[in-house]
Structure 1
Amino acid sequence: MFPYEIEDTDDWLGTPTPLETCRHQLRMYENEFEELNLQLREARGKIFKLVEMHAEASHERDTLRAQLIAAKAEADNARRHANDIEIKANGELMANGKHISELTAQIRALKGHTPFAETFHHQRNSSDT
């Protein structure tokens, strides 16, 4: 194609000059830059808020963890105390049972009954065999 066949369109109406095109492109870049700066500020604000929320959650987690450890220790102490009470109560019951048996044997002896004879009534008399 020859240069004289190319139309010169610089003087047509509505066709921007190269300088106008550069200025327009510059304004578009400036607007995009401002929008990106705004988005960056918003993102930084959200990140700061997330960091604060994380710090609060971590503090709450640590507090709850300490409370859980204290509650476990308290439960262990209560379990030990209940076990001690149960052992003591069982010992007292056994002592009371033994004392009642001894008193029952003494009452039967005083009444003339042979102690523990009725307990073994199911056994055969060895003289019968």
Structure 2
Amino acid sequence: MDPYDIEDTSDWLGTPTELETCRQFLLMLENEVQELTSQLRKARQDVFGLVQMHADVSKERDKLRADFNRARTDALEAQRQAIDIQIKSSSELMSKDRVISELYATVVSLTGVEPFTQIPKQ
């Protein structure tokens, strides 16, 4: 194709020059860079907020974990005390039963009467 056959449009009204096209493209790139910078700033703020939230939640988790461990220790101590009381009361009951059995045997041997089967006459 002959270059003279191509229509020259450079002098038409409204057709941008190469310099105007470059300037327009530059402005579009500047706007895009500004928008991306704004989005990056917001993303950094969001990340900082998330990091701060994580730190706060981690502190609360550690506090709750310590409270839980303290409560578990208290519960185990209370359970140990309850077992000690139960053992003590069981041993006291057993020794009282033994004393009662010995006294019962003594009453039967001395009187010849079983006290729980005889009702005294009035």
- With the length of structure 2 as denominator, give the TM-score of the two structures: 0.87
Q: Residue type of the partner of 1:76?
A: L
Percent identity of paired positions between Structure 1 and Structure 2 = 55
Partner SS, residue 38 of structure 2: helix
The count of corresponding residues between Structure 1 and Structure 2 is 116
Structure 2, unpaired ranges of 5+: 115-122
Which residue of the partner structure matches residue 8 of structure 2?
8
Which residue of the partner structure matches residue 71 of structure 2?
71
In 1: Cα distance, 2:100 partner to 2:9 partner = 126
Moved over 6 A (4+): none
Q: By how many angstroms is 1:16 displaced?
A: 1.0
Which residue of the partner structure matches residue 112 of structure 1?
112
Corresponding position: 1:21 with 2:27? no
**Could you give the per-residue CA deviations for residues 16-61 of structure 1, whole angstroms, max 9, x where no partner exists?**
1111101110110011011001101100110110011011011111
Which residue of the partner structure matches residue 93 of structure 1?
93
Structure 1, unpaired ranges of 5+: 115-129
Q: By how many angstroms is 1:102 displaced?
A: 1.4
Which residue of the partner structure matches residue 120 of structure 1?
none
- The root-mean-square deviation of aligned C-alpha atoms, in Å, is 1.8
Which deviates further from its counterpart, 13-22 or 23-32?
A: 13-22
1:57-68 mapped onto 2 (5 Å cutoff): 57-68=57-68
